[in-house]
Structure 1
């Protein structure tokens, strides 16, 4: 059995936030939307149904936990959750805070415009606030 390795594109496009029971939690490097990724730390998994039943339950629990923390941290109008995998096959779940009037509201975030980097220190502060919201 091979070891878990994060896809190179996910690593290049995101910053580590935390490790949950199952997943690596990462923040996308695009300040237009508070956009998190949950990546199950299981090798060679592309689809939800490829996870064990216990891992499926854990992923659902962790997705809900992260979505709640993101809503609490940002005060978002809506939290979008999706697992597409068309560009990056490694299973990952997007958890995105959306606001009325944000870039491309109410349309999807995928393929819209060019990513805008966070201002210096802004990403670090946001990651710290997420970690605080996730801690018991």
Structure 2
């Protein structure tokens, strides 16, 4: 299954989960992930079979629990799809001092460039589980 080229360009592969590919967005300030369910022609959550919806919920919970170790003020989970129609779920740690708090993060730009060490950290973190 092919992942949308914009998602691929904007992120780094972390791990293949049971249903989804886990990717880290190249953001220099936030731990921001996308889960891409590896099913053809999916645009909306409701397009998934019920069992896949349950598995996606488990994957979101796994990822959220890992992010909670960073002590964020909030975990954001969202499926937008206005720019990239392929079903993908954003899961990110938010902080009261981040660049967009308390507003939405969508469409904002990081002031710091992405550091590959974040990807290495998360690859190690997910290979432990």
Q: TM-score, normalising length from structure 2?
A: 0.91
Q: SS state of the match for residue 59, structure 2?
A: helix
> 1:92, 1:117 → 2: CA distance?
23
Q: Is the 8 A contact 2:34 2:88 kept in 1?
A: yes
Q: How does 1:41-52 map to 2 (within 5 A)?
A: 41-52=38-49
Choose the corresponding residue for 2:66, options 42, 66, 69.
69
Q: Which stretches in structure 1 are left out of the alignment for 5+ residues?
A: none
Task: From the superposition, tell whether residues 131 and 95 of structure 1 become closer, same or farther in structure 2 (CA, over 3 Å).
Answer: farther
8 Å CA contact 1:70, 1:130 repeated in 2: no
Residues 27 and 84 of structure 1: is their aligned pair in 2 closer, same or farther, counting only changes over 3 Å?
same
What is the aligned partner in structure 1 of residue 34 from structure 2?
Answer: 37
Structure 1 residues 113-122 or 23-32, which shifts more?
113-122
Q: Partners of 1:122 and 1:94 in 2: how far apart?
A: 17
Compute the RMSD of aligned alpha carbons.
Answer: 1.6
Structure 2: give runs of 5+ residues left out of the alignment.
none
Alpha-carbon separation, structure 1, partners of 2:84 and 2:13: 17
Please state if 1:5 is matched with 2:12: no
Q: Distance in 2 between matches of 1:96 and 1:59?
A: 15
1:22 maps onto 2:19 in alignment = yes
**Alignment TM-score, normalising by the size of structure 1:** 0.87
1:15-55 CA distances to partner (integer Å, 9 max, x unpaired)? 01111100000000012211010000001110111101111
| Cα distance between partner residues in 1 of 2:54 and 2:91 | 17
